[in-house]
């Protein structure tokens, strides 16, 4: 479609030839009374059909709700696409649909040093935008308009989020407004920041100003017309059917034909074959302005566009038509970026869940396969039971083994405490290692992604276990030890066990059952013969004291209590990661909602 002509009228216009009027427009802007519930409502009539108006409303709503919270590899592109689409909806599409007398905006854009401001000043006939003032530190667009259109700009209908100023040399970011009788009523000229400014903010603002305009007057030079930066924007203009005129500045007379021919070829390849080209020779300025004769063709053409309603409306309609028709593809692109965010967040969450689930399920093996009993614990156990004497001449019968064990450990109160301390110390070390290992594993996996690495970089608490882990482990192990003591004393109230517990001593019995709790014959791995025999001795001794069934139940309870405490300690190390994911949460199903809104507009068109 080439404009708001017959095809557009047949599908979008309420009646053939009906004008877009402010008093009969669908209000495609957020209703501030309904904004808290996420509503964007249609309040009155429009030049577009209800399906198109409603589809546009849905797009505005979905785009405004889209969030990019994770620093994925494509985040910069995603945010650029989002901000550009938001700005185009707010600055161009909605104002054109909602208002019948929006001034016709001509944006003068181009690269640094191309002569944009000089051209603007020359077209106006006086210095309204001092050349070079904005490079490279400021980026205030200058809007020159007829005083009759002051209300539109001063009432902040245009770029409403930017402050207003009347000083072209102001260092405060904002829009510079200049009323001038030399500008045709209903027309405004926009002097854009440099499209290739060293400032990212300036580049973004330049793009925003260009996309808010009905017509682009793109300024380049004979030396720089083939640069990449201008063509990226010109291709955007072609994709949305924006009308573009090219001003080829500072062209040596002898190179004019060759440069124009090559530029025409490039424009044709970019889909802008019908764009007029105006050449401006390399001339001496007169009071900072180009000679009238040099810019007469440009000024005459702009004046003609501004005074001939048919020409102006044709250009405006073509640009608006192209912008609206390009929206579904733009929304799909944004949806792809949003989907990447959703997938990235889900991948980080899955990685976290899998690592901690694996770590927690592995605790049962770690604390029941005998590894806690190695080293110092084994040495203290030998001191406690007198292993060297005990195992020499042991009779094979269980009864005699129990008698020998009982005789060997009876009264060894002094040896019980070092054993108890060694068990607690070894258990604490193993528990701390498990917590550190799982945090390190999550770190390693997250650092393999740009988003995960960024979260870790931004939040130091994700890099290592918290400073409170040591105290938490000590407290958990100490509490468990107290529970073991309480259980032993409670069971010791029975007549059957009381005398034996008194004979061994509570500390000794606690040390025995603690030792036995960290060994489960079904989970034993690579356990040395000495440790295996020691664990078997502890189990047999517990059975001698409490009876077989009572001992089995007590040891299982003690083991489970420690595992519960260990799971709690390891789980607490997950909290910082959960918080990081919560703070960077992506709105649920935003990609699907965006795609659906784009498809709805596509169907309505």
Looking at the fold, whether 443 and 573 belong to one and the same domain comes out as yes
379 and 295 in a single domain? The answer is: no
Final residue of a domain: which of 277, 307, 337? 307
Q: Is 251 helix (H, G, I), strand (E, B) or coil?
A: strand
Q: Are residues 194 and 119 in the same domain?
A: yes
In a domain, 48, yes or no: no
Please answer whether residues 73 and 337 qualify as being in contact, where contact means their C-beta atoms are separated by less than 8 angstroms. Answer: no
Q: Examine residue 344 and state whether it is found in any structural domain, yes or no.
A: no
pTM score of the predicted model: 0.74
506 vs 343, more confident: 343
Q: Is residue 349 part of a domain?
A: no
Q: Which residue reads 């690579």 in tokens?
A: 526
Residue 337 belongs to some domain of the structure: no
Do 299 and 373 lie in one domain? The reply is no
CA distance 226 to 74: 27
pLDDT tens per residue, range 388-397: 333 333 334 4
Exposure string of 366-400, with b = 16+ CB inside 10 Å and e = fewer, is bbbbbbbbbebbbebbbbbbebeebbeeeeeeeee
DSSP annotation of 240: T
Q: How many CB atoms lie within 10 A of CB 153?
A: 19
The CA-CA-CA angle for residues 379, 383, 387, to 5°, reads 90
Which of 297, 228, 286, 282 minimizes the C-alpha distance to 115? 282
Separation of alpha carbons 602 and 326, rounded Å: 9
Q: What are phi and psi of 193, to 5 degrees?
A: -60, 165
Q: With contact defined as beta carbons under 8 Å apart, do 224 and 156 qualify? A: no
| Pair 283, 414 in one domain | no
Cis peptide before 136 (omega within 30 of 0): yes
Do residues 303 and 372 both lie within one domain?
Answer: no
Relative orientation angle of helices 506-517 and 376-385, to the nearest 10 degrees: 140
User: Do both 199 and 274 map to the same domain?
Assistant: yes
388 and 267 inside one domain = no
Number of domains within the chain: 2
For the stretch 10-18, contacts whose Cβ atoms lie closer than 8 Å and that sit 24 or more positions apart, written own/partner, are 11/49, 11/605, 12/47, 12/48, 12/49, 12/52, 12/605, 13/47, 13/48, 13/49, 14/45, 14/46, 14/47, 14/48, 14/49, 18/47
Residues 427 and 297 reside in one and the same domain? no
Confidence band, pLDDT 50/70/90 cuts, at residue 309 = low
In a domain, 551, yes or no: yes
In a domain, 37, yes or no: no
pLDDT recorded at residue 315:
84
What does DSSP assign to residue 92? I
- Residue burial 3-26, b: 16+ Cβ < 10 Å; e: rest: bbeeebbeebbeeeeeebeeeebb
- Only one residue has tokens 């210095």, namely 127
Domain that includes residue 478, residue range: 367-583
Q: Are residues 298 and 432 in the same domain?
A: no
Last residue of a domain, one of 307, 335, 350: 307
Share of the chain above pLDDT 70, in %: 82
**pLDDT above 90 for 575:** yes
Same domain, 303 and 399: no
pLDDT of residue 41: 35
Residue 54 domain flag:
no
pLDDT in tens, 479-501: 999 999 999 888 877 656 677 77
Residue 118 lies in a domain: yes
Instruction: Give CA 137 to chain center in angstroms.
Output: 29
Are 385 and 297 in a shared domain?
no
Each residue of 369-420: pLDDT tens digit?
Answer: 888 998 899 889 888 877 433 333 333 444 444 444 454 444 445 678 899 9
* pLDDT tens-digit readout, 86-131: 988 988 888 888 766 788 899 999 888 888 888 998 888 888 887 7
Report the CATH number that the domain containing residue 153 is assigned in CATH.
Answer: 3.40.50.300
From edge to edge, which strands make up the β-sheet containing 277-281?
Answer: 164-165, 175-179, 142-145, 187-191, 104-110, 215-221, 243-251, 277-281
Question: Which tokens belong to 592?
Answer: 């699907």
Higher pLDDT, 335 or 100: 335
Name the residue with higher pLDDT: 513 or 30. Answer: 513
């Amino acid at each position: 479609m080439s404009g708001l002509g017959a095809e557009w009228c047949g599908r979008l216009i309420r009646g053939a030839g009906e004008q877009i009027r402010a008093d009969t427009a669908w209000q495609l802007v957020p209703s501030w009374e309904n904004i808290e519930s996420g509503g964007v409502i249609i309040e009155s009539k429009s030049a577009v059909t209800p399906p198109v108006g409603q589809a546009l409303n849905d797009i505005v709503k979905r785009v405004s709700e889209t969030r990019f919270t994770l620093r994925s590899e494509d985040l910069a592109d995603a945010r650029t696409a989002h901000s550009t689409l938001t700005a185009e909806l707010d600055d161009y599409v909605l104002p054109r649909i909602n208002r019948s007398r929006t001034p016709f905006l001509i944006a003068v854009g181009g690269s640094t040093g191309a002569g944009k401001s000089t051209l603007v000043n020359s077209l106006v006939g006086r210095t309204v935008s001092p050349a070079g003032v904005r490079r490279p530190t400021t980026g205030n667009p200058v809007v020159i308009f007829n005083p009759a259109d002051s209300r539109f700009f001063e009432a902040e209908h245009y770029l409403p989020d930017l402050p207003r100023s009347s000083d072209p040399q102001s260092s405060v970011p904002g829009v510079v407004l200049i009323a001038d009788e030399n500008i045709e009523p209903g027309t405004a000229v926009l002097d854009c920041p440099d499209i290739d400014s060293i400032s990212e903010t300036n580049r973004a603002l330049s793009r925003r100003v260009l996309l808010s305009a009905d017509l682009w007057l793109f300024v380049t030079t004979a030396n720089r017309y083939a640069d990449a930066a201008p063509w990226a924007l010109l291709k955007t203009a072609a994709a949305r059917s924006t009308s573009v005129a090219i001003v080829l500045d500072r062209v040596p007379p002898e190179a004019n034909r060759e440069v124009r021919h090559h530029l025409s070829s490039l424009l044709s390849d970019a889909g802008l074959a019908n764009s007029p080209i105006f050449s401006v020779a390399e001339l001496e300025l007169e009071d900072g302005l180009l000679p009238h004769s040099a810019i007469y063709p440009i000024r005459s053409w702009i004046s003609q566009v501004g005074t001939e309603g048919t020409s102006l409306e044709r250009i405006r309609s073509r640009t608006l038509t192209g912008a609206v028709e390009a929206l579904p593809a733009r929304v799909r692109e944004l949806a792809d970026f949003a989907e990447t965010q959703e997938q990235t967040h889900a991948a980080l969450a899955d990685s976290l869940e899998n690592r901690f689930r694996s770590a927690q399920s592995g605790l049962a093996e770690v604390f029941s396969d005998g590894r806690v009993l190695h080293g110092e614990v084994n040495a203290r156990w030998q001191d406690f039971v007198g292993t060297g004497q005990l195992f020499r001449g042991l009779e094979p019968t269980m009864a005699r083994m129990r008698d020998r064990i009982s005789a060997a450990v009876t009264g060894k109160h002094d040896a019980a405490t070092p054993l108890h301390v060694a068990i607690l110390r070894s258990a604490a070390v193993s528990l701390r290692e498990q917590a550190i290992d799982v945090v390190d594993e999550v770190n390693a996996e997250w650092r393999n992604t740009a988003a995960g690495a960024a979260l870790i970089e931004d939040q130091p608490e994700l890099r290592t276990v918290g400073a409170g882990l040591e105290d938490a482990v000590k407290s958990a192990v100490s509490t468990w030890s107290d529970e073991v003591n309480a259980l032993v004393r409670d069971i010791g109230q029975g007549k059957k066990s009381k005398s034996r517990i008194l004979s061994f001593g509570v500390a000794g019995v606690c040390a025995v059952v603690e030792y036995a709790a960290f060994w489960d014959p079904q989970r034993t791995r690579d356990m040395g013969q000495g440790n295996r025999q020691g664990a078997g001795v502890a189990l047999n001794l517990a059975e001698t004291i409490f009876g077989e069934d009572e001992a089995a139940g007590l040891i299982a309870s003690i083991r489970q209590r420690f595992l519960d405490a260990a799971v709690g300690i390891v789980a607490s190390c997950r909290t910082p990661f959960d918080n990081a994911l919560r703070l960077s949460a992506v709105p649920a199903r935003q990609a699907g909602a965006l795609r659906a809104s784009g498809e709805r507009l596509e169907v309505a068109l």
